[in-house]
Amino acid sequence: MDVPLWFALLVVGVLGVKLIRPPLWLVLVLLLGGYLRADSLLAPVIDTTVK
């Protein structure tokens, strides 16, 4: 069974929010920070250090 990555991340995210119950501001900061970092000029540098 092939599951798309976006669907797997969505399921893990929803379960994490329901089970752990982090504050909404923390979820928004993590999502916005991840989006901005992925779309920034530092994305190639971060990509090489993560790999």
Return the DSSP state at 40.
Answer: S
pLDDT value, residue 51? 73
Return the DSSP state at 39.
Answer: T
The tens digit of pLDDT for each residue in 1-51 reads 798 988 988 999 999 999 999 999 999 998 888 887 777 887 787 778 777
Q: Convert 10-38 to b/e letters by CB count within 10 Å (16 or more is b).
A: eeeeeeeeeeeeeeeeeeeeeeeeeeeee
Q: What is the pTM of this model?
A: 0.62
pLDDT value, residue 23? 94
pLDDT value, residue 15? 94
Number of H helices, E strands in the chain: 3, 0
pLDDT value, residue 38? 77
